[in-house]
Amino acid sequence: AVDEWAGRLRRAGHQRRCQGPAAEEAYLSGFRASAKPADALRLGDYYAEQANWSGALAEYERAAGQEGVEIRRSSALIGLNRFREAADLLTAYLQKNPKDANALGQRGLLLLNGEIRGANANQG
């Protein structure tokens, strides 16, 4: 199944390069309906590699419950300039997983961002 999805994603990239984004989406839409959460996670990673953050976020939301999806979702939110939502997501995640170094690092970078410091100041 892993090799099958890798082949599908290579084919989707080929479609995008040769025929454009619409052809890529048409190709992937046929697989999206039958995708399991693990497949949605892989598809989200594919979109993230293309810097298609809205597509990545949609797939990461469908992949809920998969290991590492929260970090990926927060990265997609950051890519969409939705810093506050990313910070809230990471805060909730860190309450359950306080030793996750990736989440701690990403949350720390968000705290360095001026928008988040200002937003957190309003929380009291």
Verdict on whether the full-model pTM lies above 0.75:
yes
The pLDDT tens digits for 13-35 are 899 999 998 988 888 888 888 88
The pLDDT tens digits for 36-75 are 888 899 999 999 999 999 999 999 999 988 888 999 999 9
Residues 6+ apart with CB under 8 A from 93: 70, 71, 74, 100, 103
Evaluate the CA torsion angle 5, 33, 35, 63 in order and state its sign: positive
pLDDT at 100 over 50: yes
User: Looking at residue 2, what is its pLDDT?
Assistant: 62
